[in-house]
């Protein structure tokens, strides 16, 4: 199924932000089967539980990809599957979402702590703030934020908190180094959640993978500029011999 691409969404906003990208990819290549799969409904923050669930339910021998948290989970699953994964695509996905001394190109730990506290106190208000952060840097940030929030599922505080803790626990550095298949990692130049410097940090860690930086784009660049992102992905698939 090397003509199949599975895309996983990010935190809190559901699958809608990836649907225009999926449509754009299908328009470029009708042979490519693109599936946007919702994240599992788990209240665990243990990455192993999430990978077990995804591995059991997603088709094998497909390309794995995702946006933000979804890209991090795709990277972990690609490493687990090895040759049973055709390749990996990540969109605005950091290797660690929360900074630590060995990975500074990420959200400061104190900022993440305050964000989590806000989610525990008022999930709806936090999701609204998150949509604004996702859209920050876009040409029409307010319009993009409304679009993200309008299509988001009803927030469930316990689930959102568990997934935030999962996000804080994930570190994909070892998995990206382990996975031997083709990799494309796209970052946004004006991303308010994943610093653009993460692109260079990834290249320093893995100089042989494909890394791209989309200038003047927000964290939600898959929704903001789906045709541009689709063209970059299609070019990569073609180079990888899957066109």
Whole-angstrom distance, CA of residue 89 vs CA of residue 239: 13
Query: Which are the contacts of 58, defined by CB distance < 8 A and separation ≥ 6?
Result: 6, 37, 64, 77
Whole-angstrom distance, CA of residue 46 vs CA of residue 48: 5
What is the residue whose two structure tokens read 């990975």?
103
Among 131, 171, 218, 219, the one annotated catalytic: 219
Among 171, 191, 218, 242, the one annotated catalytic: 191
Active-site residue flag, 191: yes
Active-site residue flag, 219: yes
Among 68, 86, 131, 218, the one annotated catalytic: 68
Nearest by Cα to 91 from 69, 124, 123: 69
What is the residue whose two structure tokens read 């339910």?
57
Q: In this structure, are residues 206 and 232 in contact, taking their beta carbons and an 8 Å threshold?
A: no
Active-site residue flag, 68: yes
Catalytic residues: 68, 191, 219
């Amino acid at each position: 199924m090397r003509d199949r691409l599975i895309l996983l969404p990010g935190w809190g906003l559901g699958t809608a932000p990836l649907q225009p990208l999926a449509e754009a990819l299908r328009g470029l290549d009708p042979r490519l089967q693109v599936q946007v799969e919702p994240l599992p409904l788990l209240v665990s923050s243990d990455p192993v539980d999430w990978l077990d669930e995804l591995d059991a339910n997603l088709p094998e021998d497909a390309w794995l990809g995702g946006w933000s948290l979804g890209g991090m989970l795709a990277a972990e699953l690609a490493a687990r599957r090895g040759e049973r994964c055709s390749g990996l695509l990540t969109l605005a996905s950091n290797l660690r979402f929360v900074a630590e001394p060995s990975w500074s190109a990420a959200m400061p730990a104190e900022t993440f702590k305050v964000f989590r506290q806000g989610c525990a106190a008022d999930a709806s208000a936090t999701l609204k703030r998150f949509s604004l952060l996702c859209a920050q840097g876009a040409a029409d940030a307010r319009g993009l934020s409304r679009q993200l929030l309008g299509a988001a599922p009803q927030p469930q505080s316990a689930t959102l908190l568990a997934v935030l803790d999962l996000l804080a626990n994930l570190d994909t550095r070892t998995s990206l180094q382990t996975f031997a298949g083709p990799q494309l990692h796209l970052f946004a130049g004006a991303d308010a959640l994943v610093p653009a410097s993460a692109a260079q940090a990834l290249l320093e860690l893995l100089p042989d993978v494909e890394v791209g930086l989309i200038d003047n784009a927000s964290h939600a660049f898959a929704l903001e500029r789906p045709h541009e992102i689709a063209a970059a992905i299609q070019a990569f698939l073609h180079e990888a011999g899957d066109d």
